[in-house]
Every structure is written in structure tokens, then in C-alpha cells.
Amino acid sequence: MSEPSAPSSSEPVAAAELLPTPESETERDLTRGALWKTVLGYGLPLFAAMVFYALFNIIDLLIVGRLSSAAVGAVYIGGTINTIPMVIYNGVSIASVALIAFEFGQNRLSKVSDLVNQSMSFCCLLGIIIGVGSWILSRPLVDLFGGTGGITEPAVDYLEILSLGTVAMFLLMQVTSVLRAIGDSRWTMYLLVGSNVLNIILDYLLVFGIGPFPRWEVAGAAIATVAARGLGAVVGLIVLWRARHSARLHLSKLWPLAGPIIVRLIRYGLPHSAQLVIRIVSILVVTRILSRFFGESAVSAFGVGFRLDTLALFAAVGWGSAIAPIMGQCLGAGQLSRALRATWMTVFFASIILAGLAVFYGTSAQWLIRLCIAEPEPEVLALGTAYLRISCLSYVFLAITVVLAYALNGARSMRIPLFIDALVCFGVQIPAAHLAARYGGTPQAVFWSLVGVHGVLAIIYLLVFLNGYWKSALLPPPSAAEGA
């Protein structure tokens, strides 16, 4: 990379402090070096961090499950509602990665600094607004999502505590997004794995009241999550505050908010948020179809199997999180060929790992269902086992879809994945699930329809990526008037 431009005269930090130095341990140029070393060295820590996050969700459920079925229902409802703010903000964090990585690849380090600081302030503002709103509406939201009987009160308590910790959740997401954008997967892994380990430890202590800690049960699980996220966010902010590179935090750049930068974050973030909402809605509709045609046992089996599917999903997301900044930096540096080769290499690594997971799930399906449900009803056990053995056949398709979607996001082509997912989820997945339920006559027919939909998605993403139309969606370098 060529020498970065000097910061503006209003910046109180010396220009030398923005230059990459030996102390700039968190900054990495992904446009240089052996490509396979870059992809593996950068991707494996993110893969490990995402897998650990998925494992935490399973462990958290097992801990709370020792209380009562009502406690499990409360955490499920409160946690599901809390994913809505996460999905909303995830679009902003993905937009941050794409924009920051592109500017970093172009060596426009003063603009990287502006984006980093402004996105952090916007993150806090959104966290306050959404968190307060969710806290006020906690009880109506729990009622809307099916809270009844002994589930309602613990679910409300759980959601209220998580809502008050929305800023911590957003900050952790944003800090790790910034670090990924500038080529650092190591600190991203430290923060995500560390916060999840702390979450598990605090979960156990606060749920059951071990040692000097009070027994808070479901509320303790929420407090543990907020505390772990908050500490992870604080450590991440310290890393950025003490950094000696373009992603360093500066008080003078945090406020006031720069309208053009915030507009860009929202404009590029909304399509990704909408894409995730579409996927969530489509899965909820499939759940309703199973409930209508086959009853509670099918829904329970689908729920347990789908929860186990999250391990595959987050593994794919880990590799996707790696290719997005690699794509952004390479395109910013004008290295389209390297960006394309990195994408296919990442697809290969992700596919190999998810194929291995598919083999494990397929051969251990019944044992895994018994692990998640202590005493499953025979029908739930049979359907859950069938679901997992069928669903695992789609994991390679999932790897292809997720990695290519994130590669397009890294290329700042946010609308193409949104269009593809909307078309397939609403135009194929929901009708196919309904037809399978009505004419197939078994839950397994619905499960097979979902595998088919994953295959369709993978084929479409491959065709779109190979066609190269997405290259025309690459935005021109932002002008000074945009405030980039």
C-alpha cells in the first residue's frame, strides 16, 4: 500500500499515529501475500468464533433447561424477540465492513477513520433508541409472540434486561465489524469467544445462585448475557482507542454525526437487514405450516433440528464474514482477480467443513436429538432424527449460498442478495413447503422441500456470481461531497 494521506488539520492526533507501524497489530492488508495463507489465516479465527457462538446458544439452552419447561419457553420467546434488533443492526455492521474495507483497500485512511468513528456513534444512538423502545414494549411483545401462563413473567423479565443491554450488543457487533474490515480476525475471535466463555460461566453462576451469587434463574441468564457483551464491548473499545492506525477512536470525530456518512450506512445496511428479516419470516411461515398440518410434535422436532442447524449456519457465516472484507479491500485496491480467487477458495474451505459436519449429523442424528431433549416423545424423536438426516444434505448448498452472499455484500452489491432471497423464500420456499405438506402428507416431505430450496438458492447464487452482473453494481469511489 502506498503512503496514507495526512489527516485533516483539525485532527489533534499527529499524522504519524495514523501510519501503519509495527505496533499496529490489529491492522492487516489483505491484498498482499499468498492467497491461501490470507484466506485461511484470516478465515479460521472467524470460523472458530462463529462456531463457538452457536455452541454457546446450545449450552445456554441446556443450562436454562434444568430449571423448567416454562423457563425454556421464556428464554426462547425473549431471545427470539431480541434477535429483531440484532437483525436490524446487523445490516449496519455489514455495511460498515464493506465501506471501511473498500476505503482501506484504496489507502484512503482518513476516510477510514471518519467511517469508523461515525459508525461507532451511530451504533450508540441506535442502541439507545431501540433498546428503550424494546424495554417499554417488552410485555406487549411477549404477549404477541405467544407468552402464556408461567412463561409470561420470566419472559418479560428476560426481555427487559436484554433490551437495556442493547447498546452493549450493538457496540460489540460494531467493534468486531471494524476490526474485520481492517483485516484483523484475531482480536475479533478473542472478543467473541471471550465474551461467550464469560457468558457461559456467569450463566451457570447467576441462574442457579452458585457461591456468593443470588439465584436469579431466567433473569440471571439475561444479566449474564448483557454483562458478557458489555465487557467484550469495553475491551474492544480499548483496543481501538489505543490503536496506532486508521481505525483509532478520536473524540473529535465521534460527534456530531455526519449526515452523509450515516445516510450511506443506512442505505447500504437496509438491504442486508431486510434480507435477514425475509429469512426469519419464511422460517416462521414454514413452522406455521408444520403446526397446521402435523401438529405439535412436528413443530417440536423442527425446532430442535433447526437449532442444531445453527451450528452449520454460523460456520458458514464465519467464512462469509472473512470473504466480505477480503473482497472489499481487494476491490478497493483494484485487484478483482484476487477477489474472485479468494471467493472461490473460501467457498471450497466452507464446503469441505460443512460436508464434514453433515456426515457427523447424519450418522449421529438420534443421539443429538436425545442430547437436546432429555426424555423425547417417540414421535418427536423420530421426526427430529429424520429432519436432521434430511437437513444435513443441504449444508454444502448452505456454504455456497452464504459465502457468495457475503462476497456480494463485500463488493457493496447489497440489493442483489436481497432480491435473490426475497424471490426464492417467498416465491419458492413457502409455496413448496405448503404443497409438500398438502400433497406429500408427511413432515418429511416438508423437510425435503427445504433441502430443495437450499439447492435452488445455491444454483442461483452461482449463476449470478459467474455471470458477473454484480460487477456493474459496484459503486464509484465516493466523492468528497458524500462525506465519505
Mean pLDDT of 256-281: 77
Q: Which residues have a Cβ under 8 Å from the Cβ of 371 and sit 6 or more positions away?
A: none
Mean pLDDT of 249-253: 68
Q: Which residues have a Cβ under 8 Å from the Cβ of 233 and sit 6 or more positions away?
A: 168, 171, 172, 175
What is the chain's mean pLDDT, rounded? 78
Q: How many CB atoms lie within 10 A of CB 230?
A: 17
Reported as a pLDDT band with limits 50, 70 and 90, residue 472 is low
- Cα separation, 138 vs 160, in Å, equals 6
Question: Is the pLDDT confidence value at 358 over 90?
Answer: yes
- Cα separation, 177 vs 89, in Å, equals 11
- At residue 352, the pLDDT reads 93
Question: Is the pLDDT confidence value at 249 over 90?
Answer: no
- At residue 5, the pLDDT reads 37
Reported as a pLDDT band with limits 50, 70 and 90, residue 8 is very low
Candidate from 104-113, 340-349, 446-455 with smallest mean pLDDT: 104-113
pTM, two decimals, is 0.72
Q: Are 474 and 414 in contact (CB under 8 A)?
A: no
Separate counts of helices (H) and strands (E) for the chain: 17, 0
- At residue 73, the pLDDT reads 65
- Cα separation, 228 vs 207, in Å, equals 14
- At residue 455, the pLDDT reads 93
pLDDT per position as a tens digit, 196-218: 888 888 888 988 888 788 888 88
* Higher pLDDT among residues 168 and 37, named by residue: 168
What is the phi-psi region of residue 133: left when phi exceeds 0, alpha when psi lies from -120 to 50, beta otherwise? alpha
Candidate from 64-78, 289-303, 358-372 with smallest mean pLDDT: 64-78
Q: In Å, how far are 53, 93, 114, 265 from 251, measured between CA atoms? A: 32, 21, 11, 20
Mean pLDDT of 69-73: 66
Q: Which residues have a Cβ under 8 Å from the Cβ of 122 and sit 6 or more positions away?
A: 92, 257, 262, 265
- At residue 374, the pLDDT reads 62
Candidate from 105-119, 327-341, 424-438 with smallest mean pLDDT: 105-119
Question: Is the pLDDT confidence value at 470 over 70?
Answer: no
* Higher pLDDT among residues 306 and 464, named by residue: 464
